[in-house]
């Protein structure tokens, strides 16, 4: 079956612009996660959605970052007024309920802020 998909695969934007990154999880996966990987760093947790529960936003680095998940499926990560330090690969993952530890990742969106 189809895996996790993300779009766009690459995004170059000017400092100060807003960007939206999209994630389509695996069908039936109720848990959805966003991570980012900056150059030379590990994957950094950003936000976690589980079903209809309030999302865990504890990893969002600033209030310029927000995410929503519509209809329990597709998610959009929005970065407002982008800064150069936002340049990274943004990864989305999803998992089945109760098997949250085995997360399935999408290919990521490489964001470059110039």
Partner 1 sequence: DQQVKQNSPSLSVQEGRISILNCDYTNSMFDYFLWYKKYPAEGPTFLISISSIKDKNEDGRFTVFLNKSAKHLSLHIVPSQPGDSAVYFCAATGTASKLTFGTGTRLQVTL
| Nearer to partner 1 (CB atom), residue 18 or residue 85 | 85
- Residues touching partner 1: how many (CB under 8 A)? 26
Residue among 30, 75, 82, 103 that touches partner 1 (CB under 8 A): 103
DSSP string, 37-100: E-TT--EEEEEEEETTSPPB-TT--STTEEEEEGGGS-EEEEE-S--GGG-EEEEEEEE-TT-T
Spatial distance between the Cα atoms of 83 and 2, rounded to a whole number of angstroms: 33
Tell me: does residue 90 bind partner 1 (CB under 8 A): no
| Nearer to partner 1 (CB atom), residue 76 or residue 80 | 76
Q: Sketch the per residue contact string, 28 through 57, with partner 1: x for CB under 8 A, - otherwise.
A: ---x-x-x----xxxxxx--x-x-----x-
């Amino acid at each position: 079956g189809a895996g996790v998909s993300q779009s766009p695969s690459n995004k170059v934007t000017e400092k100060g612009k807003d960007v939206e990154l999209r994630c389509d999880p695996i069908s039936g996966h109720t848990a959805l996660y966003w991570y980012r990987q900056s150059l030379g760093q590990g994957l950094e947790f950003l936000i976690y959605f589980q079903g209809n529960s309030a999302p865990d936003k504890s990893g969002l680095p600033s209030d310029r970052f927000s995410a929503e998940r519509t209809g329990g499926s597709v998610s959009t990560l929005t970065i407002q007024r982008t800064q150069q330090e936002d340049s990274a690969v943004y990864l989305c993952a999803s998992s089945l309920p109760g098997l949250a530890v085995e997360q399935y990742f999408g290919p990521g969106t490489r964001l470059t802020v110039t």
